[in-house]
Structure 1
Amino acid sequence: MTTMTVKTPWHLWVVGGLALLFNAIGPYDYVRTMLEGSAYLASAGMTAAQIAHYEALPIWVHAAWAIGVWAAIAGAVLLLLRRKLALPVFAVSLGAFMLNMLHTYGLSDGGRIMGQQMAVTNVMIAVILLVLIGYCWMMSGKRVLR
């Protein structure tokens, strides 16, 4: 039995590199928030009400946040390594992100507190993760990811 080697398309490097750069924002923000707390949040321009909202997040939201940001980075690295595992890892990131959105917009007053700009940012994050999942699906189908 022979195995066929599929050439890596140029766009995989572009998509993977951009995914890595974009998704690096999440862990950066997460680590700074965990290490510096309200001082970092204030330096990022958050209001006292927004900082209080972040400080009151339940542990399961913190867990989902951590899983989401680190899975997004792992998904980008796996995509650059041409691994099929990138798809389910990006899906885990999206699932964790959606748990955060459930808390923010459904189980708390976070949507009002965080404001419209954060809502737009959240939609953008969800769309980017969906596009990355679709891209991984397409590349898996073409046997680019192994």
Structure 2
Amino acid sequence: MARLTPKTPWHLWVVGIVTLLWNGIGIMSYMMTRLGNLADLGMTADQIAYFDSYPVWANTFWALGVWGAFFGSILLLARSRWAVPAIAISLIGLVGTSVYQHVLTETPASLSSPAIAITIWVVTIFMFFYARAMAAKKVLK
């Protein structure tokens, strides 16, 4: 009998686990912010005030970004075709968050890290194209 779904490539597990851990950091940051626990991360009053000043729409994009990426990693590990739209939602969230942080407001220098911002973009774009490639190869069902 012919196999309908290709064997899971080893790199899917590596990509899925590494991105899940990476996206877990984003979830932790988001949740600490939303729950008001930023002082526990060593943030100053000015840094906390910056995050508290986010408008609802910016928080919504941030939530889409972190939760979309997190669930995208889980769905990738589950070999679900829904990983692609989840990561696409994450990209939409990243665009909205980036517009707010880098265009519409002045991020405090103590919170600004171009290296981290670039890494988030690279990882998210990589995840999207990787998930699309796995879906095209019928690895995701």
TM-score under structure 2 normalisation? 0.89
Task: Tell me if 1:134 matches 2:129.
Answer: yes
Task: Tell me if 1:69 matches 2:69.
Answer: no
Secondary structure (helix, strand or coil) at the match of 1:24 reads helix
Q: Mark the runs of 5 or more structure 1 residues left unpaired by the alignment.
A: none
Secondary structure (helix, strand or coil) at the match of 2:79 reads coil
Q: Mark the runs of 5 or more structure 2 residues left unpaired by the alignment.
A: none
Task: For residues 38-80 of structure 1, give each alpha carbon's deviation from its aligned partner in whole angstroms, at most 9, with x where no partner exists.
Answer: xx32343434332221111101111111121111111011101
Moved segments of 4+, more than 4 Å: none
Match of 1:53 in 2: 50
Secondary structure (helix, strand or coil) at the match of 1:110 reads coil
Contact 1:53 1:113 in 2 (8 A): no
Q: Percent identity between the aligned chains?
A: 39
1:82 maps to amino acid: R
Contact 1:104 1:111 in 2 (8 A): no
How many corresponding residue pairs? 140
The CA deviation at 1:12 is 0.6
1:23 maps to amino acid: N
Contact 2:64 2:92 in 1 (8 A): no
The CA deviation at 1:114 is 2.7
How many angstroms apart in 1 are the aligned matches of 2:21 and 2:75? 14
Match of 2:89 in 1: 92
